[in-house]
Amino acid sequence: MSYWRLLGWAGLVLGITPGYGLVARGDTGATVNWPQWRGPSGDGVAAGQNVATSWSETAGLAWKCALPEWGASTPAVWGDAVFVTTHVDDRDLVLLKINRQTGQTEWTRQVGQASTPRAKPDHKSGDDRGQQKFHLTQNLASPSPVTDGEHVVVHFGNGELAAFDLDGNRRWQRNLQTDFGKYSIWWGHANSPVLHAGLVISVCMQDSCRELGSEPFPSYLVAHDVVTGEQRWQTPRMTAALAEHCDAYTTPLFWQQGPRQEMVVMGGQMLDAYDPLLGKQLWSVTQLSGNRVIPSPIAAHGLLFAIQGMREPLVAIRPPAEGTQTAGDAIVWSSDKGTSDSPSPVVWDDLLFMVNNDGILHCFEALGGKLLWRSRLPGSYRASPVAIDGRIYLLNTTGLCTVAAAAREFQRISANQIDDDTLASPVMAAGHILLRGRKALYCVAPAGH
């Protein structure tokens, strides 16, 4: 078992999560806080028992809270506080705080106003380059909020970045398009911010348009003080990619390589890592293939797992300790069998699970890449799977959540239907499952309740 995997499971027991300090745990060691996109470790893995495997619109729910429509962001949870962003009537950019115990909305704050620029889901050329146009499956409320238990930070697709305290008082606000230039990403900015050691870190990976002869649009990482909003560092991240290949909708991942904690970023045909305190690049793996990237990377067993974009291969990478390495030297194994275009993969023990947009669920040996099985699930998928207590939870776009065993043979445990469109990934907190739909936020009660 790798150093990182040992550290991760020690964190689940001790309540220590990289980048977040102490994380509240229940008496059984269950994950209580889900502070960011894909949970405490950013990889979709949760600790806990007594999580339900059966529910519906009429059974197994603790509560259902109507949401102003709509958004695709995942809720962030700290204790009894659930934070959700939404884009109301294609005008108001809104943050809501909902009580996890009661399902009641405690407060609503407007962060700004903007409309979603739309385009047909087709190839761009000419004057369309340099203009972000959102895909029909998302709007300005796609980035997920992040919280450290004192602040909740939100980011919207028009560049608004704002921090509130848990009582709803706005502490600061700025706009990244105002600070660093307009977004040129093809299908709408959707990267979620992360927190580390008092810093809010945001990424922007977008079409440079440099081959068109104009001033290149920048890709970059930027960190702000979570208390004051003051900029602490900004690092350019220009790669060799061109056009849509520059685009990435991924969220940074923290992992431990030896004694050093690193922030890993995937996109622009490159996987690289940074010192999150200083913004200094530590290493890079270049010459990856693929187009724009939606799935975020994950880490396990000393490897980084990334999907190269536009259904290009899933790769397991052992990165260098420093410097630049080409993909051919860094890739341990790869698979091009039915690769995901949107959902991120998840690892449970020594198995890696990936569902693609068409509902084909794959199970690989994480260390060697051997494909153990494939099975078709109903519907299409955009949400990333979650692993807990030896099970994988897979939510399709029409509210059907399949629960499967995290095992070397396919075992369907249950299939659970709610009446909503579902693009956001499931959230696990204190034995509850939170499912964010277009119309409502659902809270599934723990097993036996």
**Residue 239's CATH number:** 2.130.10.10
Tens digit of each residue's pLDDT (9 = 90 or more) over 158-196? 999 999 999 999 999 999 999 999 999 999 999 999 999
Element at 171 (helix H, strand E): strand 170-175
Positive or negative: CA dihedral 282, 336, 383, 408 = negative
Per-residue pLDDT, 274: 98
Q: How far apart are CA 416 and CA 403, in angstroms?
A: 8
Which range of residues forms the domain containing residue 195? 3-444
Question: Is the residue at 319 inside a domain?
Answer: yes
Tens digit of each residue's pLDDT (9 = 90 or more) over 305-324? 999 988 899 999 999 999 99
Q: How far apart are CA 431 and CA 449, in angstroms?
A: 10
Q: How far apart are CA 14 and CA 185, in angstroms?
A: 40
Phi, psi of 395 (to 5 degrees): -110, 120
**Residue 203 DSSP one-character state:** E
Question: Is the residue at 413 inside a domain?
Answer: yes
Q: Which residues pair with 336 in a beta bridge?
A: none
Question: Is the residue at 63 inside a domain?
Answer: yes
Question: Is the residue at 237 inside a domain?
Answer: yes
Out of 48-52, 106-110, 233-237, which region has the weakest mean confidence (pLDDT)? 48-52
Question: Is the residue at 148 inside a domain?
Answer: yes
**Which of 243, 144, 239 lies closest to 191, judged by CA?**
144
Are 425 and 73 spatial neighbours (Cβ–Cβ below 8 Å)? no
**Residue 399 DSSP one-character state:** S
Q: Would you put residue 122 in left (φ > 0), alpha (ψ -120 to 50) or beta? A: beta
Does residue 204 carry a pLDDT above 70?
A: yes
Does residue 212 carry a pLDDT above 60?
A: yes
Q: Which residues pair with 77 in a beta bridge?
A: 34, 82
Asked if the peptide bond before residue 348 counts as cis, ω within 30 degrees of 0, the response is no
Cα separations in angstroms, 80 against 53, 199, 267, 331: 22, 24, 35, 42
Tens digit of each residue's pLDDT (9 = 90 or more) over 370-395? 999 999 999 999 999 999 999 999 99
Question: Is the residue at 59 inside a domain?
Answer: yes
Question: Is the residue at 449 inside a domain?
Answer: no
Question: Is the residue at 88 inside a domain?
Answer: yes
Per-residue pLDDT, 155: 98
Element at 10 (helix H, strand E): helix 3-14
Give the strands of the sheet with 151-155, arranged side by side: 146-147, 151-155, 160-165, 170-175
Q: How far apart are CA 268 and CA 191, in angstroms?
A: 14
Q: Could you give the number of structural domains in the chain? A: 1
Cα separations in angstroms, 370 against 212, 240, 333: 43, 31, 9
